[in-house]
Amino acid sequence: MASGWSTARAPATIANVGPGFDVFCLAIHGLGDAVSIRPADTDVLLVEGVDAELLPHSFAANTAGIVIKALRKATGIETPVEVRVRKGIPASRGLGSSAASCAAAALSFLKAFPESGWLGPGGFLEAAVEGEAAVAGRHYDNVAGALLGGFVSIASTAPLVLAREPVSSRIRIALAIPDLRLQTSEMRRILPRDVRREDAVSNAGKAATLALALVRGDADLAGRSLEDRIAEPARAPFLKGYAEAKRAALDAGATGLAMSGSGSAVFAFATSRRAAEQSAKSMRDAFAGLGINAKALTTTVDNSIPLRALLRDRGARFSLVTP
C-alpha cells in the first residue's frame, strides 16, 4: 500500500440527460467530491463538507466504505484504512452526489493499492455501483460518468456494454440548483410501469439524436432533443417551480431544458456562454419568484478521465465491454 494519504476526486454528473433514462450521463466541470484513504489500525470514516450532516458517518453505512468493502472482496486486499470524504456536491439534487463519493472511493483505493489494478475498469465500476445501489438503487449511469468523464451511453449492464465520448465546449450548460431535496429512490418508485408505444418511440428517437448532437457539439440540436415523455412527466409535479424555470430558460435563449437526474436541479443547453449565464440566472429567478432559493451555475462537460490509470491504452473515445 502507498504510504500516507491517497486522494482522488470525482465530478458531479447529469444523468438521464432528458430521454436517456438510466442510459446517458454527462460529467461536468465545477462541483465534485474527494475521498482520501490511508493505512490505519481499524476502519474509520469521516465526512465533511456540503450536507455532511445528512450522510452516514460510519464506515459500514457510508457509500465510500461500501465501495471499499466491495473492492476488498474482489481483490483480497484487507488492509484497514482511515477514510475522509469531502463533499462538494449537495445531496438529493440530481447531481450524482452519492455516485461521486463512490467513484472517488474507488479511485483512491486504486491509488493506495496499485496492485488492485488487475481488476480492470469494469471491475472498479461494478464495485462503485455497489455503493450507489445501497442508497439510490442499482443504476450505472452516474457512477460510469463519474469514473469515465465526458458523455457515457450504456447499452447494457449485464454484460456491461457502454460507450464513452468527449463533448465539445461549444455546448454550454446552465444549471439551477434549488434548495429542495428529492430522494432518488423515491423518484424511481413513482415511475410508470407501462409506457405507451408512441412515447417509447419518441424517447428512442430523441435519445439517438441527442447522442449525435452531443458528439458533434451541436447545442441547438441537443436542446431540441431533450424531451422526455416517460420519466419527467411523472417526476416534474414533485418539483415546484419546474415549469416556471423551463419557461424562463427558454425565454433567455436556452435551446432546451430537463431535470438533472431525478432532480431537484435543472439544466439547460445553450449555444454561448452569455446565453448560458442568462438562462441560469433566469431559472434562479423563476424559483425565487416562488419563494425557493436556488443557486445558478454555468459549466461545460468535463472530458477528463478519472479512471485513466486503467485506460492508458484508450483515447478519448472508447467502449467498455465485459463477457
Neighbours of 29 (CB within 10 A): 17
Residue 203 φ/ψ, nearest 5 degrees: -65, -40
Query: First CA to last CA across the chain, in angstroms?
Result: 30
Question: Position 262: which residue type?
Answer: S
Nearest residue to 168 (alpha-carbon basis) of 94, 224, 221: 221
| Residue 71, all three cell numbers | 473492492
Nearest to 229 by CA among 201, 190, 209, 255: 201
Instruction: Count Cα neighbours of 249 within 13 Å in the Cβ-side half-sphere.
Output: 31
- Angle between helix 120-136 and helix 97-112 axes, rounded to 10 deg: 140
Q: Which three cell numbers stand for residue 26?
A: 454527462
Strands 6-15 and 24-39 come out as: antiparallel
- Catalytic residue ranges: 132, 184
- For residue 134, the surrounding DSSP H or E stretch is helix 120-136
